[in-house]
Amino acid sequence: MMLLRSPAFANEGRIPARYTCDGEDVSPPLEILGIPEGTETLVLIMDDPDAPAGTWDHWVAYDIAPIEEIPEGVEDLGTPGLNSWGRLGYGGPCPPSGTHRYVFHVFAIDGALGLPPGADKGTVLGAIADRILDEAFLVGLYSRP
């Protein structure tokens, strides 16, 4: 069973401001434990299901080599996908009001997707639908000061 965690915050704990629009807006460090045998690539998605206009995608990356540690502020992680701001790469929590949940999802995939850079979350999820070997998630909470 795969496990996703961060040394920066506990599951269902508060995401430090450093990783948000109120800080440096860099991605948090992540650790992936128990990557299953046969995994050729990973997919990472971070989204906010509490956004007022519907789920907001903060980070989409795919065709990531099976690694156990994703360093803080990583800039080169697999193939970058499109977030809800219309940009590639990470965009940190920046809720308009209240406390929001930020869900980091990691999927172990049986091969490369081969999608070009800039695929959105829906395209990536469609491409992995029948290729997932395992998945894990981590939830962080954030509200603006």
Q: What is the pLDDT of residues 11-55, one digit of tens each?
A: 999 999 999 999 999 999 999 999 999 999 999 999 999 999 999
Helix, strand or coil for residue 122?
A: helix
Give the CA count within 13 Å in the CB-facing half-sphere of 113.
Answer: 32
Task: Say if residue 60's pLDDT is above 90.
Answer: yes
Measured CA angle at 69 (ends 99, 133), to 5 deg: 85
Of the pLDDT bands very low, low, confident and very high (cuts 50, 70, 90), residue 145 is confident
Q: Which domain holds residue 130?
A: 3-142
Measured CA angle at 108 (ends 104, 109), to 5 deg: 125
Q: What is the pLDDT of residues 72-121, one digit of tens each?
A: 999 899 999 999 999 999 999 999 999 999 999 999 999 999 999 999 99
pLDDT of amino acid 107: 98
Domain count, the chain: 1
Bridge partners of residue 31, in order along the sequence: 5, 69
Domain with 105 in it: what CATH number?
3.90.280.10
8 A C-beta contact, residue 35 and residue 66:
yes
Q: For 100, list phi and psi in degrees, rounded to 5.
A: -115, 155
Tokens 């807006």 belong to which residue?
A: 25
